[in-house]
A and B are shown apart, each in its own frame.
Chain A
Amino acid sequence: MPFEQPLKKFVLAWPGSLTEQITLTPTGKSGGAGEIFGIDTQPNLLAKLYHATTTPPQLNHYQRKIQWMLNHKPTLPKISAEYQGIVQLAWPEAMIMHQSDFVGFAMRKIAFDQTLELDYLLNRRQASQEDFDIDYGKLVAVCFNLAAIISCLHSMRIAIVDLKPMNVKVYKSELFVSILDCDGFHIATDEFRSDAPQVTPDYLAPEFQGGSVTHPEAQDRFALATIIFRLLNYGIHPFSGVGVNSRDYPPELAGRIRNRLYPYGNSAHKNVLKVPASVHEVLPNALRELFDRAFSASAINRPSAQEWVASLSVYAVKHSGQMLPCNRGHLKFSSSECPTCLREQLIQGAAARRRSFLTRMQTAPTRTLKYVKKTLRQTHTSPFQAALAQTQFAAVHLAPRASLSTRNAIAAEILWIFGLLISYWWIK
């Protein structure tokens, strides 16, 4: 239930025993677990109150988790004094109590006018609409900063688990990264444990697809590599590609991740082709090897956040000479061709091909046939039986639908029609 009025008589309880009376003002923002409020005396903080539907045991767990987090604030990568207002983690700063009951926590406010969601960096046009012009120097810096924060968390046995671009904000001019939703992190220390049940399939490591995340740090390593890959490759997901045999190629990313269908490795995948517009081939070898270890090898070899920090640091430091402008002025990795130019060529090539409209119209009949063929290859499911199954007859159970392809179903039904006609002929 969203609150509209300011809420009085709340108490901000700082670590130690300092407390203060506060009034909360609604911001209109809310998430799965709670709702976000402003705090009248603390303009730099926001309060997150857990939803009223939270059960007492859950709330109790949150309280212990927040308590632990207040006592174990991670030491983050140092940022110089000029960037005072930057928040790298919306870590809990104080508890919020109401009539001496725990109801939520306060965290530092991330200035939304100075930041943009990491999602936007995956698409140049979207980013420039937000007044952010992307170049490879900025991208590497963002990757480096993200890896650095995660590395700090991992060293404290804290994992993010639901790591995805949506939960990460980027400061537009400073390129620092901040991570939201800290109260959802996985904590696995000797004195305190808290699981993180939420996951996002597109960023979930193959070994956890369809199961639970038993090794949260390995999960973060996978998600981190996926995000870095997408940032450095124009948003292309490492598991998007073109199936050689479309029949065996899962339509959704989760299935491709599970089957480890990664087409951007140093050695090509035999069943999947890369997306034509990908520029992975001109990324530095050191990074490509890390990607290969993250996506094609087993989880044991997956590079840690610390390894990413080490490999990215050479590029992230300005004036290191590792990032140089190409002859058209784009920043690029000094060791290889300019990815920005390459991308433009690929896109223009595609546009030119698209322009040959006539040739395409001439091939239209074959393509139409392909559409029909593809349709016939779909798995056939019967909505009628699904509807019937939902009504759940007490005595008669409906048969689980055979997962026939549409072609097989048609073949079977042709035989059925023949059977009925033959019977008719014999009985009539």
Chain B
Amino acid sequence: MSLMLTSVWVVPLLIAWAWRSRQAATASAWLLRIAFAGFGAWAIWFGLYVHEGEPAGIFFWKPTLLYWTLATIAIIAPMLSWTAPAKIIVGAYFALSSREWRWINRGFAIACMLLGAVNLLVASMTSYRNWVDFKFSCLTILLFIGLFRLNFVWLPLIVDLSFHLYRRTVVAYRYVSQLLRTP
């Protein structure tokens, strides 16, 4: 059972590793990856393997931790004159100058900081119900990022793949039927 569980996340990671692009990633991209590796390891460990759940104190802090980490990366990276992390998140779609990216990145950092703070406020000052609603409304941001990805990258990728596979199937079909025709 736990083998199954493990393969669910190990196999895709192995594929991603095997097919990784050989182009060097930017320092910001590495920073984001490392951060997410940490978050991911935590999530996988406590989500899939440890059934007693996480340390109790962290519960309300979780969204804040994520937001503030992102905010920190978004603030630090430009100071080291690395690529703006916001560009990594939405840069696949639009071409803007690096000055514009810096501004978008600042907005991103501020939004993350605010969201992290608001999370703590809501969690400590209002009811549990309100907090759950707040988190739920934050998820819509994620939904948007996901939809963007779906529309701009995944659908085309799928269309592309099925198109090529279809073409190859047609070629294969012709080949096989030709084999059948010549005795």
Contacts and interface: CB of A to CB of B under 8 A. Distances in A.
The judgment on whether A and B are partners is yes
Interface in B1-42: 9, 12-13, 15-21, 33, 36, 39-40
Contacts of B93: 385, 398-399
A419 B135 contact: no
Interface residues of A, number: 50
Interface in A328-382: 351, 354-355, 357, 360, 367-368, 371-372, 374-376, 378, 380-382
Contact of B95 (A357, A399, A406, A423): A399
Contacts of B180: 357
Contacts of A428: 135, 139
Range for the number of chain B residues in contact with chain A: 35 or more
A88 B157 CA distance: 54
B21 A400 contact: no
B36 to A, nearest CB: 5
Interface stretch (A7-15, A48-56, A178-186, A407-415): A407-415
A111 interface: no
Contacts of B65: 426
A414 B139 contact: no
Nearest to A383: B156
Main secondary structure of the interface of A (DSSP, over half): helix
Contacts of B155: 384
A100 to B, nearest CB: 57
Contacts of A372: 165, 168
Contact of B161 (A396, A406, A419, A421): A406
A354 B95 contact: no
Interface string B34-54: 001001100100010000000
B95 to A, nearest CB: 4
Interface string B144-166: 01100101111111011100110
Interface string A388-428: 00000000111110101111111111111111111111111
B36 A422 contact: yes
A426 B62 contact: yes
B179 interface: yes
A402 B16 CA distance: 18
A98 B39 CA distance: 83
Contacts of A380: 156-157, 160
